[in-house]
Amino acid sequence: MNIYTGGVLLSIIAYMLVGIYAGLKVKNIEDYYVCGRQAPTFLITGTMFASMLSTNGFMGDTAYCYTGNITTMILINTLCASGYVLGGLFFGRYIRRAQVNTMPSYFWQRFNSERIRRFAGITTVVSLTAYLLSVIQGTGILMETMTGFDRGTCLFVSWLCITLFTFYSGSRGVIITDTMMFIFFLGATLVAGPYVFKAAGGLGDLIANLANNPATPAGLLDYHGNTGGGSVMDIMLYAITMGIVWMVAVGVSPWQAGRNLMAKNEHVIFRSGVLSALLTVVFLIYLYLIAVCVIPLNPGMTEPERVIIWAAYEVTPKIVGVILLTGIMAAGLSSASTFLSVVSFSLSSDVLNLDKRKDVSQLFFTRVTVLVVGLIALVLAYMNLSSIRVITWFASTIIAASWGYVAFASVWSRKLTERGAYFAMVGGFLGYFVSKCLKEFAGVPFVSLFDPFFIGVAVSVILGILGSRGQVKTAEESAFQEKLHRVPASEALVSDYRKDRMYGWLMVVAGVLVSVFLIKYWALPYNALNGSGIASLF
């Protein structure tokens, strides 16, 4: 057994033990589904960011930066980060007031509609199962690289770890282990960074070194990034489009906004949103800088997805490399456990309607569902079907396109009715699905403002408005919406709002510091190399 295998096994054992311990505290279905609605700011932040980052953040996003698009990714993440704050303020705190256990259940109660609940449940299951498969595969590949075990063994170990602590402890175990993994990969990345920065000549000289290196990808240092042969307008519109997509996704998706159902109170929702937003910008800039620092050390990698893995093996001390690689694996495991729990809860509660049973019975059947879904995911991941990759193209934004308008309108619109909401959900789903198919398989140039996501949202809004015409909201719908806008007495303490204000100022100060950092270490050196003065920045 090598040191990397030992690190993997020790971390997995630790997560499983904590998951089992958390399971001992599960007394009823609310504990299992939403952690008894008692999760503090730290745990909500940990589970949100850990499930968001995944292996894709460490592998896919860093590859995009390595090939010339760090500035593109910073713009995307800045827009995405705002979704944590806006989503919490204008949607997240209201669904918590609904006291539901799943996101589709919220739509069911808000519109008094079983068909909306079932459709929302089905879209959740389809979309997040695709994510679950991709994350299990990514984690298995990484484990295979680290341990030398065969692919089947690595997939099985990943599945076993994810399934065991999700099966027994539900959301309580998921958010605790998510937060453990979050602390682990955060600390590992922070420790590894200085070694890579030093090997690349230091952050202070990074821009000059990259500018003078012929291997540096075109456009890397420009505000727009590598255009890939297209125009600057194309790459900027792409970044803005993807930023908006992810802003909506983190604001309304069941694997992000759904974590708000577990929050101890509404103030936790705002505070965890602020911290998640800061991590999305600050931590990821740090991670992306590590990726571009590898360019002068190992230019032209044929598999840029392995840029951080290469740095862990070749640049950092062995123990630091072990911690970093185990941290990347933890990011994948945390996302997979979140997806497995959300898919299983929605399937059992919203699609199969098991919530009509008694607590003990529903808890048993939900655990069986977790096990079955996990087994199906393992089999499909092992088969490595190419269609899975196709599914993930659609899964990435389909919930945001289908739910985005309905989610916010369910809180703020006085005119949206059950029929309008159902038409909007189905229309957004089909509008995105059809246009995405035409783009991927027929080559129809749906880009920029005609991106399939925007087409789906436009169809959703239009059908929501038209579908609501001629229908009057029922008394139950009106009463439920009215209830959403009543601030509970427990949420109205002045001391809590004062603390919230401190988080708001933290976000402002962090924004200023990030701007100063990028101006000092990126914009000014870049302009100096190009013979431009400070005035050219403004």
Per residue, the 3-state secondary structure of 364-400, as one string, reads: HHHHHHHHHHHHHHHHHHHHCCHHHHHHHHHHHHHHH
Residue 484 CA, distance from chain mean position: 26
Among 113-117, 298-302, 533-537, the least confident range: 533-537
pLDDT at residue 394, as a whole number? 61
Annotation: CATH topology of 3-23+35-383: Sodium/glucose cotransporter (1.20.1730)
At 501-517, the pLDDT tens digits run 999 999 999 999 999 99
Helices 41-56, 266-278: crossing angle, 10 deg rounding: 40
Band (pLDDT 50/70/90 cuts) for residue 408 is very high
What is the percent of the chain where pLDDT is above 90?
49
Encode pLDDT of 24-47 as tens digits.
Answer: 788 888 888 898 899 999 999 999
Q: Is the pLDDT of residue 210 over 80?
A: yes
How far, in Å, CA of 5 to CA of 322, rounded?
9
Separation of alpha carbons 221 and 69, rounded Å: 9
Every domain of the chain with CATH number 1.20.1730.10 lies at 3-23+35-383
The span from the CA of 139 to the CA of 132, in Å, is 11
Q: What is the pLDDT of residue 127?
A: 83
Per residue in 310-357, pLDDT (tens digit) is 999 999 998 998 888 888 888 888 888 888 888 888 988 888 876 655
User: Where is average pLDDT lowest: 349-358, 371-380, 523-532?
Assistant: 349-358
pLDDT at 393 over 70: no
Please state the rounded mean pLDDT for residues 89-114. 94
Mean pLDDT of 103-114: 94
Q: What is the mean pLDDT of the chain?
A: 88
Q: Of residues 358 and 114, which shows the higher confidence score?
A: 114
User: In the structure encoding, which two tokens stand for residue 210, read together?
Assistant: 């990259």
Quick one: pLDDT at residue 389? 46
Q: Please report, for residues 45, 253, 259, 345, the alpha-carbon distance to residue 277 in angstroms, rounded to integers and kept in the order given.
A: 9, 16, 15, 27
Task: Work out the average pLDDT over 379-403.
Answer: 70
